[in-house]
Amino acid sequence: NLKSKFGGILDAYLDRIADFLIIFGIFLAYGIDTISSIAFLIALLGCIMPSYIYHLSGIRSDLFGRDVRLFIVFIGGILATLNKEFLLYTLLFIGIYMNVGAISFLLQARKKG
């Protein structure tokens, strides 16, 4: 079990690339239109901001982690087999939920000083 600072940085970098590709894949699978483009951007910000704010503030919550995002994608993928609209709902849910988490981290950081 080898660990290095570079390994941690590389892992975080590859996680962000994977997050982007997953969100982009959902976006493409749903289809490109105005609402899906907005949902894509909101979801993309929601994937990046919690880890960025955590890095700067040290404030973290298991409720807004990558595992939760991937679980939401998993559920959305299953539901999308019933109706393609669930792909859009998945993007919107990820975007809104994760940005709420990022905002809560900001508020906690503000209280912390």
- Give the C-alpha separation, 87 to 73, whole Å: 9
Per-residue pLDDT tens digits for 51-74: 888 888 888 788 888 899 999 999
Query: For the chain, what are the domain ranges?
Result: 5-112
**pTM (two decimals):** 0.88
Per-residue pLDDT tens digits for 6-48: 998 999 899 999 999 999 999 999 999 999 999 999 999 999 9
pLDDT value at residue 43: 97
Query: CA–CA distance from 54 to each of 35, 37, 49, 51, 102 (Å)?
Result: 29, 26, 8, 5, 9
The amino acid at residue 113 is G
